[in-house]
Structure formats: C-alpha cells, structure tokens
RNA sequence: GCGCCUCUAGCUCAACGGCAGAGCAACGGACUCUUAAUCCGCAGGUUCUGGGUUCGAAUCCCAGGGGGCGCACCA
C-alpha cells in the first residue's frame, strides 16, 4: 500500500485541469478506513494519564467533528464517535500548526466526518486528546449543523431529520440505544427459555388476531387485495399446531388509525405462544421479563416514569376487572350484570353505548373509561368478558368470562394475553359473531378465517399466548413521554418539498 | 374528524400595529492549552402560503399548509 489507510493523497494528486486545488468531494474520500480505537476505549485506557503527558501510543479514531476551538497556531476540536455504553463517546483533538498536516489549508468543517491518526496525550489542562499527526476527510457536511449548544428543539425537524437529531440530541441517541438493547435482551431471554423466533406473513388475505382497521394493498399478479397485518396471532398459533411449542415474533404491525403520542400506525409487537401453558404462566412470564429488562437497562426494578415512581419488582398485583372497577367506582359489575344496569352506569359516566352492545362490551367500556388510566403501579387485570375476546378460551370457573389478562403500567396497556381458545367449533361460533358485527358496520370486527379453523381442527393443544407492545415498553424504560421518542422514524405527513 | 397552541436567518430565539434583530453556525481577520474558547469585522430574510383590515401588518382578521398538545378513534 502506497499510503497509510487514512491518506487520500493519492486521490488528491490526480491531474486537475483548474489551477485551484479541487475541493474534497465524495469522490475524493477513501473507499475504506480503519479506526483502531474509540473515544470510550481511550477514556478507559488512558483515563489516569497525568496532565501534559505524551503516552507514546499512536491510535486512529474516526467520527464527526462537533466543536472546534482555534487558538492561532494551535487548534482544539471535539470528535464525536458515539462510542461507549452511553453512546456519548467524544475525544478532543489537539492540532498544533507545526505538526498538523494542512493546518492552514482545507481544514475540516464542523459536522465533517474525519479520521485522525496520532499520539494519545493530555493537554496542560489535563484533557485527554489525540494529537493530529495525520487526518483525512471521510465525509463533508455540506449542510450546517444545528446550534452547538441548543441543538434541535423543533420536534418536526427532529423526527424528519433523525440523522441530524441523533448527533445533537444525546437523549435521542440514548433512547434508541436502550430500545435496541431491550429487543436484543428480550430475544436472548426468550431463547434461553426454549422459544424460537419465527417470521410470519405481513400480507394477510384476511386481517385477524386483533380488533383494528387494517391497511389495504393490492397484489397485481395474484389479482387480489391483501391487508397489512394488524397482529401475527393467527399465524403463530398455526405454528403451534405445526409442532413448534414455543414461538415468538418481533412483529411490525400496522393499524390504520389515528396518530397520537401513544399511537404510531406501524409499531412493534412481541407475540409469543407457549403450548401446554395457561394465562397464569404468561402473567408470570411477563412480570419476570419486564423486571429483568428493567434491571438490565435501568439498574433496578424501581424506575421513574415522567416523575412518578414505578415498582416493577415481581410479583405484580393481580386483580379481576370486576374487582378493579368496584375499587374505582364502588359498583360490582360483571358479564352477568343486566344490560339495563350497565347502560345506566354508562349514562352516569357519560359514556356512549349502542343498541348492539352486550354486557361484555359495556363492562369493558366502563372499565376502560373509569378505571384503566387510574392504575399506576403494575397490575394484571384478569378475566375479561367473552363478548370482547373472540380468541380467548372460556374461563374455567366463571361463565361469560374468558381467561384473559392485560398488564396495566403507568395507566396504559402494556400487554394482552390469554389462554387460547383451542376448540374449532367454539372458535367458529365466535368468528361468526364477529362477522355479524362486521356486516353490521363494525370495520374492526374480525372475519371468519376458514384456514385458521382448519388448523384448529388438526388440533391445538392447551396454549397460552401473549402480545407485548415493544414501543410502550421502551417508552416506560426510557422514560419517554411520546411513542415518537422511541421510534427512529415515526410516521409523519410527507413533506411537500424536502429540499 | 373537533378544540387549543405554534410556525421569524442553517440552528436557538427576540421584536407583538411603526426602520425585521441577537447568539451560534458561515465568511474575513487576531490569537500556541482551549473546553459552548475569546476578541474585531462582514454577510445572511417570500417573517409557512394566499387573501383581507389599516396611512402602515411578522404582529390584527379570514382561508389553507406543517407541527405539538388535548379530545374522538385506537376493545
């Protein structure tokens, strides 16, 4: 090799037709660069170096130039490479004119990516630095970076230009890193327990497994409409029928509904299914997984969310919907409560009801509007009305209810799980009830999925399933107020003119 | 979909019916130990868009657009 890897000299010396030296462009940066140290590693390794010391060690680092302090014939700069567990890695560059190549020439600009090779040293003030003995431009920033102190505050710009936000908003970087670790830890944790990760279709001929409006698309060659999945549930249970007793999927799902600080049209749902278990098993699994993640990511099971303390330590409280509603509004209501009485309660709390709503629908409505948001510490709400749970198995003791639970944390639904309905005849009856709602105008009700029924007819053993909202969980553990803070590129209206 | 708030230089923000400004960034200059370096100088605008009111509009009004928050929706 004629030049060290950081050198672009060979490229810059190509014949030029103009008298001026060419500006470095994307065409003049090297094809490859090989840093051998990061800011975090240097801090770790040379943290104890006394002020005014040269280490005798030469390293190559790379990153973006974020700050610059030119002092006549001596310049300091801050190179950021986002190394380290906090993704906040920065190292100072020390550049004396006497030894720094091209000091007076085309010095790098703020925002440029550069690679630097030089001796590790400390300044007289004791700041760990890399002396710039050689440097090369890796990418020029043609657009000005935001204010070096105030950064970006316009949320629109932050979401649309996340590639800038991630450099200037440490919080954003930290949050996204936490999310990445959350997903990684979850995978490992599940695999350690015998779950295998699978990928099921995003295109569904029949939308199912949830109660939501789907996005519709069209396949030209097949000449058929397809729906983007609203949940992977029905395919994952087919896999249990197929002989995989423990499966999970980190499923991006799509729901054609409103946007809010808690809803993005595409979001990530972890769904897992476990043969031979019931909903008690998955309540235990949920609390153990979340406590594990909190310990790994937040250093303990006591965390702060939006200024309020949350105790995620195992075990979490378990309470039936009936008991929780009773606690909140002082009435014992369940799926056997007469419809008239439930309607009267709805009226009392100014909740709209429809003629077609059965007791289960009304009870759920009352619970959600009066009780759910009032729960702060984690609680498993159990035993939902069958009417609103078309895929859940009937409660083994209480008629009209199913063995279903949701975990409510900080007033929000974190997950939803249930003992799965395994009886194909009963499932057909439930699907048909849904289909009646659907033809009655309820666009969110499910349709009859004949292939799913066929799968059940081959035999689904006792099974429990669970869906955890990964975005919600990330919000909780990252202490993020908006779901957009935990999604790298949240859904926004397309820009009219992005230039 | 409804309500409230918001939009000014690349970025962060002033000016609130009377000459569109500052800091940072950029550009020119001084400076060999800075830490958001400092200092001097220079340049930078469709005040989101279109109407209206007014002698005069960034400012007030109407309509539209982007964004935020709340409501509705999201079992």
Task: Report which residue is nearest nucleotide B33 when distances run from CA to C1'.
Answer: A124
pLDDT one-digit tens code per residue, A231-278: 999 999 999 999 999 999 999 999 988 888 899 999 999 999 999 999
Nucleotide closest to A367 measured between CA and C1':
B75
Task: Report which residue is nearest nucleotide B7 when distances run from CA to C1'.
Answer: A154
Q: Is A2's pLDDT higher than 60?
A: no
Which residue has better confidence, A3 or A433? Answer: A433
Residue A490 contacts residue A156 (beta carbons within 8 Å): no
Provide the positions of strand B that have an atom within 7 A of a protein CB. Answer: 1, 10-13, 23-27, 30-38, 65-75
Task: Quickly give A256 CA vs B68 C1' distance in Å.
Answer: 21
Which residue has better confidence, A206 or A20? Answer: A206
- Please give the structure tokens belonging to residue A42: 């240097």
Q: Is A496's pLDDT higher than 70?
A: no
Q: What is the pLDDT of residue A15?
A: 31
Nucleotide closest to A153 measured between CA and C1':
B12
Residue A115 contacts residue A138 (beta carbons within 8 Å): yes
Spacing of C-alpha A335 from chain mean position = 36
d(CA A385, CA A342): 13
d(CA A213, CA A265): 10
Nucleotide closest to A493 measured between CA and C1':
B66
Task: Quickly give A63 CA vs B58 C1' distance in Å.
Answer: 40
pLDDT one-digit tens code per residue, A107-157: 899 999 999 999 999 999 999 999 999 999 999 999 999 999 999 999 989
Nucleotide closest to A149 measured between CA and C1':
B36
Q: What is the pLDDT of residue A463?
A: 98
Task: Report which residue is nearest nucleotide B74 when distances run from CA to C1'.
Answer: A257
Q: Is A22's pLDDT higher than 60?
A: no
Task: Quickly give A104 CA vs B32 C1' distance in Å.
Answer: 14
**What ipTM was predicted for this assembly?**
0.91
Task: Quickly give A7 CA vs B56 C1' distance in Å.
Answer: 61
Backbone φ and ψ of A386, nearest 5°: -60, -35
Q: What is the pLDDT of residue A497?
A: 61
Backbone φ and ψ of A88, nearest 5°: -120, 20
Burial code (b: 16+ CB inside 10 Å, e: under 16) for A136-161 equals bbbebbeeebbeeeebbeeeeebbbe
Q: Is A13's pLDDT higher than 80?
A: no
* Percent of chain A predicted with pLDDT > 70: 94
Nucleotide closest to A150 measured between CA and C1':
B12
Q: What is the pLDDT of residue A439?
A: 85
Task: Quickly give A263 CA vs B5 C1' distance in Å.
Answer: 21
**Which has the minimum average pLDDT: A3-17, A90-104, A165-179, A215-229?**
A3-17
What is the rounded average pLDDT of the residues A471-482? 94
Q: What is the pLDDT of residue A493?
A: 83
Task: Report which residue is nearest nucleotide B23 when distances run from CA to C1'.
Answer: A147
Nucleotide closest to A368 measured between CA and C1':
B75
Task: Report which residue is nearest nucleotide B1 when distances run from CA to C1'.
Answer: A258
Task: Report which residue is nearest nucleotide B71 when distances run from CA to C1'.
Answer: A260
What is the rounded average pLDDT of the residues A52-76? 96
Task: Quickly give A498 CA vs B10 C1' distance in Å.
Answer: 15
The full DSSP string for A148-201 is: TTT----HHHHHHTHHHHHHH-HHHHHHHHHHHHHHHHHHHHHHHTT-EE----
pLDDT one-digit tens code per residue, A413-449: 999 999 999 999 999 999 999 998 888 888 888 889 9
Q: What is the pLDDT of residue A34?
A: 97
Distances (CA, A) of A497 to A144, A152, A490, A494: 19, 20, 18, 9
Task: Quickly give A386 CA vs B73 C1' distance in Å.
Answer: 23
**Which has the minimum average pLDDT: A53-67, A169-183, A375-389, A427-441?**
A427-441
Task: Quickly give A70 CA vs B29 C1' distance in Å.
Answer: 13
What is the rounded average pLDDT of the residues A388-405? 96
CA angle A27, A32, A34 (to 5 degrees): 140
Task: Quickly give A154 CA vs B36 C1' distance in Å.
Answer: 20
Q: Is A345's pLDDT higher than 80?
A: yes
Helices (H), A338-478: 339-348, 359-370, 424-439, 450-458, 470-478
- Please give the structure tokens belonging to residue A58: 């030469």
What is the rounded average pLDDT of the residues A474-492? 93
What is the rounded average pLDDT of the residues A80-105? 94
- Closest CA relative to residue A315, chosen from A267, A281, A283: A283
Q: What is the pLDDT of residue A421?
A: 97
**Which has the minimum average pLDDT: A201-210, A215-224, A441-450?**
A441-450
Nucleotide closest to A111 measured between CA and C1':
B25
Average pLDDT, chain A: 91
The full DSSP string for A315-363 is: SPEEEEHHHHHHHHHS----TTS-HHHHHHHHHHTT----TT--HHHHH
Task: Quickly give A8 CA vs B43 C1' distance in Å.
Answer: 33
Nucleotide closest to A390 measured between CA and C1':
B75
Task: Quickly give A170 CA vs B25 C1' distance in Å.
Answer: 20
* Percent of chain A predicted with pLDDT > 90: 80
Q: What is the pLDDT of residue A356?
A: 81
Nucleotide closest to A385 measured between CA and C1':
B75
Q: For residue A354, name the pLDDT band (cuts at 50, 70, 90).
A: confident
Q: What is the pLDDT of residue A440?
A: 81
């Amino acid at each position: 090799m004629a030049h060290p890897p950081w050198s672009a000299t060979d490229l810059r010396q190509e014949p030029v037709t103009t008298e001026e030296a060419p500006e470095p462009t994307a065409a003049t940066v090297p094809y490859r660069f090989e840093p051998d140290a990061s800011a975090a590693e240097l801090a770790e390794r040379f943290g104890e170096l006394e002020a005014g010391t040269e280490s005798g060690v030469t390293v190559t680092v790379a990153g973006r130039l974020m700050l610059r302090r030119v002092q006549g014939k001596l310049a300091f700069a801050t190179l950021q490479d986002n190394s380290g567990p906090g993704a906040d890695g920065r190292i100072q560059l020390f550049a004396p004119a006497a030894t720094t190549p091209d000091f007076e020439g085309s010095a790098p600009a703020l925002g440029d990516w550069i690679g630097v090779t030089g001796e590790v040293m400390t300044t007289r003030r004791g700041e760990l630095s890399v002396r710039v003995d050689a440097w090369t431009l890796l990418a020029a920033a043609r657009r000005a970076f935001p204010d070096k102190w105030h950064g970006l505050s316009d949320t629109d710009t932050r979401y649309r230009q996340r590639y800038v936000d991630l450099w200037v908003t440490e919080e954003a970087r930290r949050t996204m890193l936490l999310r990445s670790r959350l997903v990684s830890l979850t995978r490992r944790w599940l695999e350690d327990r015998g779950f295998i990760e699978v990928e099921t279709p995003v295109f569904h001929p029949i939308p199912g497994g949830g109660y939501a409006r789907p996005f519709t698309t069209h396949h030209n060659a097949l000449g058929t409409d397809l729906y983007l999945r609203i949940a992977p549930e029905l395919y994952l249970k087919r896999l249990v029928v197929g002989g995989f007793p423990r499966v999970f999927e980190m499923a991006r799902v799509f729901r054609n509904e409103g946007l809010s600080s808690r809803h993005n049209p595409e979001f990530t749902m972890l769904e897992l299914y476990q043969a031979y278990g019931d909903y008690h098993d998955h309540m235990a699994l949920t609390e153990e997984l979340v406590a594990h993640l909190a310990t790994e990511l937040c250093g303990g099971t006591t965390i702060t969310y939006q200024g309020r303390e949350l105790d995620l330590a195992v075990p979490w409280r378990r309470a039936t919907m009936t008991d929780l509603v009773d606690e909140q509004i002082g009435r014992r209501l369940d799926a056997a409560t007469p419809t008239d009485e439930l309607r009267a309660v709805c009226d009392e709390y100014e909740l709209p009801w429809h003629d077609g709503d059965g007791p289960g629908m009304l009870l759920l409505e009352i619970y959600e509007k009066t009780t759910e948001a009032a729960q702060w510490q984690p609680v498993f709400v159990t035993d939902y009305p069958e009417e609103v749970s078309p895929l859940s198995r009937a409660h083994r003791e209480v008629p009209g209810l199913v063995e279903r639970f949701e975990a409510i944390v900080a007033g929000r639904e974190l997950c939803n799980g249930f003992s799965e309905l395994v009886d194909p005849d009963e499932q057909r009856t439930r699907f048909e009830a849904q289909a009646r709602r659907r033809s009655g105008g309820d666009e969110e009700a499910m349709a009859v999925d004949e292939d799913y029924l066929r799968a059940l007819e081959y035999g689904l053993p006792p099974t429990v399933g669970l869906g955890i909202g990964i975005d919600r969980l990330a919000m909780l553990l990252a202490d993020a107020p908006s779901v957009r803070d935990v999604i790298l590129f949240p859904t926004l209206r397309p820009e009219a003119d992005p230039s």
